Chains A and B, each alone.
Chain A
Amino acid sequence: MVNFTTTIFAEGELIYTDGGLLAQYAWLLVLLPFVAALIITFMGKHLPLKGAEVALATIGLIFLYSSALMYSHITSGVVNEFFINVGSIGVFDIEFGWVVDGLSIMMYFVVGTVALLVFIYATNYMEGEIRYTFFFTSLTLFAGSMLVLVSSPTLIQILIGWELVGVCSYLLIGHYWEKKDNSSAAMKAFITNKIADVGLMIGIIILALNTGTLRISEILYQATHEYEKLSTVAFIAAILLFIGAMGKSAQFPLHVWLPDAMAGPTPVSALMHAATMVTAGVYLLARMFPFYKSMAPDALDIVMLFGVITLLAAGLIAVVQDDLKKVLAYSTVSQLGYMVAAIGSGAYTAALFHLWTHAFFKALLFLGAGSVIHAVHSNSMLEMGGLRKVMPKTFATFIIGTVALAGLPPFAGFFSKDEILASFNHEGEITFFFIAVLGAFITAFYMTRAVSLTFLGEYRGHGHPHESHNLMTTPLLALSVFAIASGWVNIPGVYTGFTDWVTTRKNKIVEYHPESFDLFALSSGLLAGLLGIALGYYLYQLQGSAETGDDKIKIQPIWSVLENKYYLDDFYFKYVIDPVKINISRAVDKFNTNVIDRFVNGFGQIASLLGGIVYNNFDQNGIDKLLNMSSSGTDSFGGKVKLLQTGKTQQYLMMFLGGVVTISLLILFII
């Protein structure tokens, strides 16, 4: 059944190999988590570590395998794809399979690394929590679903992975389902994502119908060579795929689920915000990038617009949050805005480069936040403060993550954000460039605020917080290494290996790539970051304190608009959810019972009326009389009955037929 297709029609001067056995067995990456999930489900509770060891071993293997792939890709370049045909519907084949190329190997590595560290962390973080074994099952499935998605050579497998990720996130966000808020947050995530998923599904079907194939590489080939097949639908398909991406990658206005998804345990948030789920949308746009670039440049402008709106809108909300995890959540939304905007501006590598660095430092920040929350038993930064002294390791690593996010050299975020800014500048999008710089300023500001409220000053909570277990701090240390160094793989003019990794694909990537630092972009971004940090430090440390810092920037009515998240949730409830759920649905329900049922009941009444007439006249008067009168002579009786019966029966038949004709006419005219 396995169909090894290695018809490579890549162009350009890329040098690559078919990856050999390592590529042929890459399906293990996808299959292992599902096997592990089964083992944990059925045997987990009887194992010494309650199933966590199976999850760890699996994810460890995935990490090793993806590292080996990464090594082989860096040294010799690997491009290959494999298909398993599972049948056909109508014109096109349904195929599953796996793809090994620069983009997917980069994602394997990110998922493998971040997931491994998060899993190690979770063994300690979740200790003693309810449904410990089930948690590891879901977490393994979550990572596995993401691997299904990123390994996909066909759109249909992307769709499956896409929804599987959604289902697993539903399980994980609602992990503490005893609290109603959490299960509601899970439902919200699930349904918001489903809206986007339907868009994706329709987009995929449109693409497949017009190209006759579900294979991504062939669709991309057609998009760059046989324009006529796609020309009429390219724009609409591109927009529909982007709607799908907006759901998973939490782009405005479909981002509302992500901050609420904080209800899940912190390791879940770390995994979700860094490596899995939210990167899916960016991954899809990157995977389909040649299609967007060559067939739907107008759609790319829209992508960029939404990205820019998201990066600014979410960044501003992050400023007013008091919940540490929510600050990070809105920060993720904002950073995803950078990535999506970068794709929109045509900067494929820059977007993926930011995805890459962001995965590491955001995982670090979330795990750091988890470590703090674990210690103080609260999410609210108002009950933290002064933790610098008691949690030195967490503090040091959190600072590294913050600086990386704020974009200061030589930390990872500096290089990736700079490349995005540089490509905005190159494209001549000056307005968007300055909004992105403003975003960098805001990012630096809210992260400084968060650090000040959490780690500096005096402790405001209760109890005696202490440093977390080594199992939690070791992943933090490992991630800090990445948060520092992961940006060094793509320094313009020095070493640009990352560009070569992710552009080594079957389909040629045409994009702008800076040869050297764009000094204007570099200095603007750096200045914005430094100013943000300075302002934050001034407001929350030098001039004021945690309690008074917010006062200076509480400018009404902006502050309350931000606190209410632009009233977007209220808007959805008031104008979308409630009308459908309450007004329309109830109205239809009423219509259904009052009009349609009444019609039916009316029919029943007519029938029983008819029955009554027939009973009284025909049965009672006819048959009964017949029996009664049977004694009064056959001759006179026969004549009477004949008259009576034919008359009444005819009447009855006339009425019935009349009813049928009326209904038929009604159907003919109404419909």
Chain B
Amino acid sequence: MILPRKSKYYVAAFALLGTLFSLAPLVIQWANYTSPIYAFENSFVVDKFSIILKGLFILITYLTFLLSINFIESDKYYQGEYYYLLLSSLLGALIVSSSRDLLTIFIGIELASTPMFLLSGWKKGDRKSNEGAIKFFLLGVLSASLILYGFSLLYGLSGELVFSNIASYLLSASLASSPVVLLSAMLVISGIGFKISIVPFHSWAPDTYEGAPLPITAYLSVSSKATGFVALIILLTKVFAGSGSSWGVILVIISGLTMTLGNLVALQQNNPIRLLAYSSISQAGFILAPIAISGITGDYQDGIFASVTYLIIYAFMNLGAFLSVHLFSNYAGSSDFYEWGGVARKSPLAGVLTTIFFFSLAGIPPLGGWFAKFVVFRSLLGSANSIGIALGVVGAINAVIALVYYARISKVIWMDELKSVNEDKIFQFENPLKVVGVFTVLITFVSGIFPGIFSYLGEVSSIFFGN
């Protein structure tokens, strides 16, 4: 912020290097890991679960920076603030993944989302951007207050802040399924439900996604969503574990509604960003499903494993999908993907990447999205519970519907006729974007062909649940 304008480009370099450098402590922590380390009177923990998620958050932020470089340079001002705000949000996400008490997790959640209010309204002159940002902000405030209210009930009841103390208090006083605790759980689920945009708290997402700059949209749909999910997983399994049978049923219904509504509305979209917004709502339903079922069966370890596996694979392929949309909408200058006919022929690399990301989102092997769906279905069917199997069937129907709109985009960009206005334009595919594309595509492939890399997550989630 203090640098003269000419040297603004150092900001980007510094932010990129800084983010990358922050991976180093994680690697060291991982290498020296023996058992979970607690700090600040058990309110902060370093375990394998948090290390992996921190790595995920840092990588996503790094990729978002790469996505942003060209966009933000075309903009004459506010470079420093842009990176600063994103880094603040990253810090929030990092805090969430390690937090073990009410205050820390609340600060983490809000630190992760508050900068996004500003960033989503980045295009100041744009009416859509303003509308989206205001909606996002108003609902964000509501969600924060809901979470806080839920927390205050817990605190009032138990007089404790640290999760393990609250949980053991609720257990010893056999309050786990008392109305107050359930109300608190509901408040927390609806508050965080807004961050992860599950039905019926999803309606801000398409408007905000459409108005925000594309890198921010990508970040919102990936990192913010992941932060919310991590917070939800921690709270549900660490605090509300005893009342799983109640919130489990509600989350199952929400999960089924989320995947179905997201998919059906996505079928109607011809704006690619709104399409991705609804598709990522639908994907959130899939991520939610295993953790919802684990509430009913009590097998949290399996639920965490399946949800986090899906979350990680989703993060990269969805980031890739946003990259594709970014490239093509910049090129064709149209927010209707039916106008994108044949654009893939202008840049086969971008076309192939797009097809891979969209097919992966649709769950076609051997791409990562396939494995993610497989893990979720296994978890649902393996619950040996009729509700779980019913949700599995809902998911199966949705997997077919989703293919229709994912494949449609790939079909349009390859097979439809090239619009004459696009014939002479030069396709811009800057190097930083190529790095993002290649990196995410590699992860998408590797996670589908060697899903073994996720098997350690089983161990990780057992450690997480054990401590």
Identify the A interface with B (CB < 8 A): 85-91, 94, 156, 159-160, 163-164, 166-167, 170, 174, 177-178, 183, 186-187, 190-191, 194-195, 198-199, 201-202, 205-206, 208-209, 580-581, 584-586, 588-589, 592, 596-597, 599-600, 603-604, 607, 656, 660, 663-664, 667-668, 671
Query: Is B128 on the interface with A (CB-CB < 8 A)?
Result: no
A209 with B378: in contact, given A87-B455, A89-B458 (CB under 8 Å)?
Answer: yes
Inter-chain contact B375/A89, CB cutoff 8 Å: yes
Instruction: Write out the residue numbers on chain B whose beta carbons fall within 8 Å of the beta carbon of A174.
Output: 411, 415
Asked whether any CB of chain A lies closer than 8 Å to the CB of B399, the reply is yes
B368-386: contact bitstring with A at CB < 8 Å (1 yes, 0 no)?
Answer: 0010011101110110000
A586-B268, A660-B145, A663-B190 given as contacts; is B399 within 8 A of A90 (CB)? no
Closest A-chain residue to B457, C-beta based?
A89
Residues of B within 8 A of A581 (CB): 267, 404
Known: A90-B305, A597-B203. A201 touches B268 (CB 8 A): no
Which A residues are in CB contact (< 8 Å) with B267? 580-581, 585
Asked if A191 and B186 sit within 8 Å, CB to CB, the answer is: no
Residues 380-414 of B contacting A (Cβ, < 8 Å): 381-382, 392-393, 396-397, 399-401, 403-404, 407-408, 411, 414
Interchain CB contact under 8 A, B458 and A604: no
Name A134's closest neighbour in chain B (CB-CB): B348
A209 to B375, CA, bound (A): 12
**What residues of chain A lie closer than 8 Å to B250, measured between beta carbons?**
671
Contact A89 B415 (CB under 8 A): no
Inter-chain contact A163/B203, CB cutoff 8 Å: no
For A604, the chain B residues whose CB sits under 8 A away are: 134-135, 138
Q: In the docked arrangement, what's the CA distance between A206 and B400, Å?
A: 19
* A85 touching B374, Cβ below 8 Å: no
Q: How far is the CB of A116 from chain B (nearest CB, A)?
A: 26
Instruction: Tell me the complex Cα distance, A471–B107, Å.
Output: 73
List 12 interface pairs A-B (beta carbons < 8 Å), by A numbering.
Answer: A86-B452, A87-B450, A89-B454, A90-B382, A156-B374, A159-B365, A187-B408, A201-B396, A585-B265, A592-B203, A596-B199, A664-B146
Which chain A residue lies CB-closest to B362? A194
Cα(A599)–Cα(B138), bound, Å: 13
Interchain CB contact under 8 A, A667 and B186: yes
The B414-467 residues at the A interface (CB cut-off 8 A) are 414-417, 449-455, 458
Residues of B within 8 A of A164 (CB): 365-366
The reply to whether the CB of B46 lies closer than 8 angstroms to some CB of chain A is no
B378 near A592 with CB under 8 A, answer no
17 new A-B pairs (CB below 8 Å) besides A89-B374, A191-B404?
A: A87-B450, A89-B378, A90-B458, A91-B382, A160-B366, A167-B359, A198-B396, A199-B396, A202-B393, A202-B396, A205-B381, A208-B378, A592-B203, A596-B200, A599-B203, A604-B134, A656-B145
Residue on B nearest A85 in the bound complex, by CB: B452
A191 touches B400 (CB 8 A): yes
Contact flag A589-B265 (CB < 8 Å), given A87-B453, A580-B401: yes
Q: Does A190 contact B407, Cβ atoms closer than 8 Å?
A: yes
B91 at the binding interface (Cβ < 8 Å): no
Decide if B175 is an interface residue (CB 8 Å cutoff). no
For residue B406, give the distance in angstroms from its CB to the closest CB of chain A. 11
Bound together, the chains give a CA A88 to CA B375 distance in angstroms of 11
Task: Say whether B264 contacts A589, CB under 8 Å.
Answer: yes
Secondary structure dominating the interface of B: helix
Known: A86-B450, A663-B190. A585 touches B268 (CB 8 A): yes
Which of B182, B393, B397, B452: most chain A Cβ within 10 A?
Answer: B452
B191 CB to closest chain A CB, in angstroms?
A: 10
Alpha-carbon distance between A295 and B267 when the two chains are bound, in angstroms: 41
Q: For this complex, into which size category does the number of interface residues on chain B fall? A: 35 or more
CB distance from B140 to the nearest CB of A (A): 12
Q: Chain A residues near B264 (CB, 8 Å)?
A: 580, 584-585, 588-589
When distances are taken between beta carbons in the complex, the residues of chain A under 8 Å from B190 are 663-664, 667
Complex: how many Å from CA A183 to CA B410?
11
Contact A90 B378 (CB under 8 A): yes
Residue of A89, A209, A660, A667 contacting most chain B CB atoms (<10 Å)? A89
Question: Is B142 located at the chain interface by the 8 A CB criterion?
Answer: yes
In whole angstroms, what is the CA distance A190 to B404 when docked? Answer: 9
Contact yes or no, A660 B401, CB < 8 A: no
| A88 adjacent to B455 (CB under 8 Å) | yes
Report Cα–Cα, A600/B199, bound state, in Å. Answer: 12
Chain A: which residue is nearest B141 at the CB level?
A607
The answer on a CB contact under 8 Å between B204 and A600 is yes
A600 touches B135 (CB 8 A): yes
In the assembled complex, the Cα of A581 lies from the Cα of B183 at a distance in Å of 38
Q: Is B16 part of the binding interface, using a Cβ–Cβ cutoff of 8 Å?
A: no
| Residues of chain A lying within 8 A (CB to CB) of residue B265 | 585, 588-589, 592
**Residue from A202, A588, A596 within 8 A of B377 (CB atoms):** A202
Whether A206 contacts B146 by the Cβ 8 Å rule is no
Q: Tell me the complex Cα distance, A91–B375, Å.
A: 12
Query: Within the assembled complex, what's the spacing in Å between the Cα atoms of A194 and B404?
Result: 10
Bound-state CA distance A620–B393 (Å) is 57
CB-CB under 8 A from A603, the residues of chain B are 138-139, 142
Of A87, A88, A177, A206, chain B has the most CB atoms within 10 Å of the CB of A87
Q: Is B47 an interface residue (CB 8 A)?
A: no
- Tell me if B253 is interfacial: C-beta within 8 Å of chain A: yes
Tell me, in angstroms, the Cα distance from A584 to B254 when the chains sit together: 19
- B302 contacts which chain A residues (CB < 8 A)? 90
Report the minimal beta-carbon distance from A356 to chain B, rounded to whole angstroms.
28
Q: Interface 1/0s, chain B 184-201, versus A by CB < 8 A?
A: 001100100000000110
B268 touches A664 (CB 8 A): no
Decide: B407 and A187 in contact? CB cutoff 8 A: yes
B364 part of interface (Cβ distance < 8 Å): yes
Residue of A178, A581, A585 contacting most chain B CB atoms (<10 Å):
A585
How far apart are B450's CB and chain A's nearest CB, in angstroms? 5
